Amino acid sequence: MPTNQLQNMYANSTIPCSVFVVPDSSHNNSVKVSVAATNALRPSGISQNSNRTRPDPDFSLTTQAQQIAAIAGENVGVWCDGATGVDLVCAATWAAGDLIMSDASGYGVVCTSGKFYGARAQSAGVIGALCPVDVVIGYLP
């Protein structure tokens, strides 16, 4: 059984906490925020739930502007395939068990046909909240 471990990667853009990231070929072991246009790419995982200037895993999206996990050039922790109970920012409601892909901001939405997904919902998704997901990466035909 896999264990939850953060993979250390190079941030090639500013990466918010708890969003989908995809590979970026401009630097070794590099990721950037996933956007809807990159749903044709296999996601790397979900960025850490820890602010770069205030490493508090219990932060709230409502206490500050969107938390930043890393800025370009820094290391960023990424939850990869097999991690469980990972926080993801919810952009549209989903049900437990739904496959989740990235929206235009890297937030989670229900996956549609012909796209890669990066997570499976553990519980119902609440818009604007951090919702628990399991990182499961695949393609929905």
pLDDT tens sequence across 78-92: 999 999 999 999 999
State pLDDT tens for residues 31-50. 999 987 777 789 999 999 88
The pLDDT value given to residue 35:
85
Cα distances (angstroms) measured from residue 25 to each of 51, 125, 139: 25, 32, 21
CB neighbour class for 114 (10 Å; exposed up to 12, middle 13-18, buried from 19): exposed
Is 60's pLDDT higher than 70? no
Kindly report which listed range (4-18, 65-79, 99-113, 118-132) carries the lowest average pLDDT score.
65-79
Q: What are phi and psi of 36, to 5 degrees?
A: -55, -35
Domain extent listing, the chain: 6-140
